[in-house]
Every structure is written in C-alpha cells, then in structure tokens.
A and B are shown apart, each in its own frame.
Chain A
Amino acid sequence: MQGDKHFHDSWPPVRGDYEVGDAGSHVAVVTLASRIFPRGSAICGPCKTENLGIEKIVANVISNCNIRFIIICGAESRGHLPGDTIMALHRNGIDEQGRIIGSKGAIPFIQNLQPEAILRFQQQVEIIDHRGLEDIAQIEELIGRYSRLKEPYPFEPFQAVKSRPQRKMVSTGCGDLSLGCGTVMDTSAWLVMQDTCEVNVAAGG
C-alpha cells in the first residue's frame, strides 16, 4: 500500500471507458448503458457487457481499498443485463466453468479473474442498486451520502492478475507450420490440412 492512500500509483490498473475522480472516495459508480458521468466518485463509467466489462470493474475496484460501495445506476443494457450480473456475481460468485451464478444476462462468464479476486470483491464492497436512475443530481447525492459511511478496507490493494495461457510445444506433424487444433500447413504446397501423420504412425500406417 502507498502510505495512507490505500491504492498504488498505477491505479486504476485496467484501461476502459471510465472517468477517474477522487481516488480517495469510498464510492464507484457504474452507469450501465447510460453515458452519464456524475461527480464525486472514485471512478465512474458505463458497462454494457456481462462478462469482460464486469471483469474490468472488479479489477479496478479491488485494487483501491477506499472503494466500499458500488452504485449501479443508468439504463440496463438489454439482453446483456450487466447490472443484474454484477449483483449476481456479488451475491453468488461463479461456478467451476466461470459462469456467474444466478445471472439473467446472455453470456455471464468470468474468464480473466482468479477466484480470490471474486471473493475479495464480495467482501470489500457493497452494491447499491439504483438501476434506471439517470438523474445526475440524484446520483451525486447518493455518492455524497455513501462516501461518509465506511472506512477503507483494512487490507492491501488486490491486484487481479490476468490469466495467460501456458506456452506449449506444438507438433507440426505432416506440415511445417502449425495452426493449432490439429491443423497444419505444408508451406511448399501452400496447403492447410488436418494432421493425420501421428494417427497413421500410431496405427502402423
């Protein structure tokens, strides 16, 4: 932690469509499909998707211990339902496949956050549901009200690490260029094909 700031200098760690305000504020604001930017929060921005957009919110919130509330407001994004999905994630977490339990969104999955990040999100912040509210003055009033209610979260900022695929050796079989999934290319003939060499060898062919 950087002294009493409760966040690192590089905060917020994940780029996106948002505005950073007072990083010491206890409130983050998600305006769903509405492009409105009320003042006074630590970070404020829209969220239109029920998977990648929510991952960014979680990563940017748990890396700043000052943030204790997320106000969800603005118009829900039809079909995707990110507002419903944020609340489901906070309430229920994810299953083994990464599906957000209980979300009504179209494809509600978390793929780039470790389970500890979800747990931290559930413990650090409280969700304040004001879906449908687009009046900036009323949202700013809510920000002011919740900003005074809690102390910073008493642990280190959590840096959510993006999972990266492991490097692995890839056989090119009959071809000399591999494209994965058993697909190879013989560049001398400029021919892309499914690799059958290993199967033939195994079968004695």
Chain B
Amino acid sequence: MFRFGREQSVVNIAGVKIGGQPGELPTALCGTIFYQGHRIVQDEERGLFDQARAERLIGRQEELSEETGCPAVLHLYARSIQAMEKYLDFSDGIWKGPLIIDSADSATRAGAARLTTELGYADRTVYNSLSLATAEEEAEAIRDSDIDSAVILAYNPAKPGVEGSIELLETGSQVLDRGLLPRAAELGLKNLLIDPGAMPLGSGAGAALRFSVVAKSRLGLPVGSGIHNAVSAWPWLAAKDKTTKQCCDAAASAMQLLSAADFLLYGPIESAEFIFPAAAMADILVAEAVAGLEVEPAAWHPANRLV
C-alpha cells in the first residue's frame, strides 16, 4: 500500500482497466487454462480437451469476477499452434474479455500473434511475453500483428534482482543492445504489463515485491507477477496437503497486492475459487489504507461492493 509521486498510467484492454494508484482500481486476475499438465487436456499437441469442464472453469472465473469486482483475464497456454487455434475458437464462444496468449515455444507464440490478428481478436489480446528470449523472428511476428498489449518479462538472469530487472527494461543491461521498453515501442506495443518474473523461494522470489514498488515509481506503468510460481516451486511445501498449499498461494497473492501490484498471473484457473476472495480482501485493505490520501476506489472496486 503505497502512493506514488509519479503519475500512474492505466491501460484499457477489452474494457478492463489495469494500473493506477494502489487502492484506485481492483486487481486484474489472470487465470491460466490448458496449462502444461492440465487434467482437462487430453492431447496437448492437437488441442483436444474436455469442453464442458473448460466452460465451467471459465464461467466460474467470470462469476467470481462479477461478484468481487476484480476483473478477470483468460490466460490461454498452448503447446502448439494447432492447439492454440482450437483454444481460441472455443473461448470465442464463451469469453469476451481480455485474453493472454502464451506458450513455452516461440514459434507457437509467434503463430498465435498472427492467428489472433487474422481472427480479429488482436484488440483484446495480451502477448505473453516480450523478454530477453524474444528473437528477431518472433519480434517480427509481433510487429506484423495488430496486437498492441503485452506482458514485458523483466527477468534478467545475468543480473538477478530489482536493479537488474530495471536495467533490462530501460537499457538492456549487459545482455540486450537496448531495453525491453524501447523495443516494445518499436514493435507497436502500447499497453505494457510489467512482470519481473517471480523466482522460486530461496532464489530471490521476494524481489518481485520490491520490484513492483520500484517499477511503478520509476516507470508509472502497471506491474504484476506470477508470484504463485514461487509457491508451486517450493519443495518443502510439495509434501503438504491441498489446504496448506492454497493458504500459501492466497497469502503470496495478497502480499504481492500489498506491494502495489495491478495484476496477478495467479496460475491454474481452478485457483480462482480462493484467489478472487483473497485478492478482493487485499484490494479492500489497500483502499482503506490510502483513504484520505486523495485516492478513491473505482465504483466497481471490491471496497464498494463487498463491504
């Protein structure tokens, strides 16, 4: 819970506003579907999945969003372009909000950028992500597409930590010839969501918290993270029961929101059930913490809905 001297920009993606001063806008919550190992997927390569279960998961995220006021974003992960095509075709029928397109494979990400442009989804698509790993071929696909929103992954393995991530964004640090922010501008990306790339606990996970505050102060851009990765990669927790894991996941999310995050890549969409209430509670606490500091929560903020 902070108030920033620098003006905080707000992006609008398919009607969802992300950014601003803490306490102003509710946190955008991005749930991932069709992720690696997702039980509803029968064939990751061809994109075969249980449509009824997928529809229920997306519908439940939307319900929780409407109930809490925290906007939902659908994060589509695909192993291949063939699978991405199936997922986009399916989601079009049931989800009209922002979409994040994602894959571990750069050719699939590039193909998805072309595909969303052809299908007319580009204005509600967020490309995940522009990073140190984005090679020229992939960059060309982004430049040639109509997509103008992206997650900017500020993970700098050559200089881990807050300073290294800021340098990667601004100057390219020692590993790129220019920063990711100027590169994003060259590629036509305007709505930027800054993500430091949450590390495992013990490898610097906590840096994501300080990074959020520093990045908003220096850049005035929306910031968030996939802090749940720190929780899911914690070997000590792996042997614990489901409730314990969910408590840690919710706590990590709330801590990230307390550290000024505007969006959360909260992991498996099944987690919506406990992440939305935890995030809504954190949003209310932050809004109440900055009350009297000239920051007013938006009309649809959980502070104006749930209390």
Contact = CB atoms under 8 A, between A and B. Distances in A.
- The finding on whether chains A and B are genuine partners in a shared complex, rather than unrelated, reads yes
Interface of A: 15-17, 51-52, 77-80, 97-99, 106-107, 109-112, 165, 179-183, 185, 189-194
B6 A193 contact: yes
Contact of B104 (A80, A110, A190, A193): A80
B22 to A, nearest CB: 10
Contacts of B2: 185, 190, 192
Nearest to A180: B162
Interface of B: 2-6, 79, 103-106, 131-133, 155, 157-158, 160-163, 166, 174-175, 199-200, 202-203, 210, 213-214, 216-218, 235-236, 238, 290, 293
State the 3 A-B residue pairs at the shortest beta-carbon distance, nearest first. A79-B104, A109-B157, A193-B5
A198 to B, nearest CB: 16
Nearest to B4: A192
A79 B105 contact: yes
20 contacts: A15-B235, A52-B203, A78-B79, A79-B105, A98-B157, A109-B158, A111-B158, A165-B161, A179-B214, A180-B210, A183-B217, A183-B218, A185-B2, A190-B3, A191-B4, A192-B5, A192-B213, A192-B216, A193-B5, A193-B217
Given A51-B157, A98-B157, A107 B5 contact: no
Given A51-B157, A181-B162, A106 B104 contact: yes
Chief secondary structure at chain A's binding surface:
loop
B3 A107 contact: no
A1 B5 CA distance: 57
Given A15-B235, A79-B106, A192 B158 contact: no
Among B4, B158, B213, B293, the most chain A Cβ lie within 10 Å of the Cβ of B158
Contacts of B5: 191-194
A106 B217 contact: no
Given A106-B106, A189-B3, 9 more contacts: A17-B235, A98-B157, A110-B157, A179-B210, A179-B217, A180-B162, A180-B163, A190-B293, A194-B217
A59 to B, nearest CB: 12
